[in-house]
Amino acid sequence: MRPPADCMLCPLCSGRTSIVLPSGDPSSGIAFVGEAPGEFEDRQGKPFVGRSGKILDKIMAEEGLDRSKVMITNTVKCRPPKNRDPTKEEMAACRSFLDSELYGCRLVIGLGKSACRDLLGYEGKMGEIANKRMSITIGGKEVVFIPTYHPAACIYSKEARAGLRETIRTAREEIEAGN
């Protein structure tokens, strides 16, 4: 299920250029979920194509994971004003779309606090849960969930970069194992 082109389920519709849908391979069984589109994503209609996307792409390439082999999406499909975090209400408005995207996945990776708050209900510090296997329920099915740092956190933190790298390595290993 995808949002209609004229979606008006939340106030984010008023400032968007485009609805940002997932990219990559939805049948891979592996999804990376960020918080929301930024300026470049809003313009191009694709997730993670701006500065954070460049960081994600670089680490993925260094770890031997082809971006096209996984699905990449966001908790909300429209850009929040001034790149603020999406609200709980905005995430709730898009949740049925996100659940339909994640249905059938065997591994979901939450990129950053907002994605982890939406998917896991977690409000604490990322350092306490980063790279710990957990589970979430999508469509009545338990799915492996790994919370990790958002690529933007890697700009200033070596710990975040190492954590994201570890998670990407795990995703690559999942693909190689064919699980």
* pLDDT score for 92: 94
Mean pLDDT, residues 52-67 taken together: 96
Query: Do 112 and 153 touch, CB atoms closer than 8 A?
Result: yes
How many whole angstroms separate alpha carbon 114 and alpha carbon 85?
7
CATH 3.40.470.10 fits 36-174, yes or no: yes
* pLDDT score for 111: 97
CA distances in angstroms from 68 to 30, 82, 171, listed in the order given: 11, 29, 13
The overall average pLDDT reported for the chain is 94
Domain boundaries, the chain: 36-174
* pLDDT score for 179: 56
Burial class (CB in 10 A: 0-12, 13-18, 19+), 44: middle
* pLDDT score for 4: 85
Mean pLDDT, residues 56-70 taken together: 96
Which letter, b or e, does each residue of 56-84 get, where b requires 16 or more Cβ atoms within 10 Å of its Cβ? beebbeebebebeebbbbbbbbbbbeeee
* pLDDT score for 161: 96
Mean pLDDT, residues 164-168 taken together: 96
Mean pLDDT, residues 69-73 taken together: 97
Tens-digit pLDDT profile for residues 94-147: 999 999 999 999 999 999 999 999 999 999 999 999 999 999 999 999 999 999
Question: In 3-state terms, what secondary structure has residue 119?
Answer: helix
Tens-digit pLDDT profile for residues 10-33: 999 999 999 999 999 999 999 999
Q: Tell me phi and psi for residue 84, to 5 degrees.
A: -70, 165
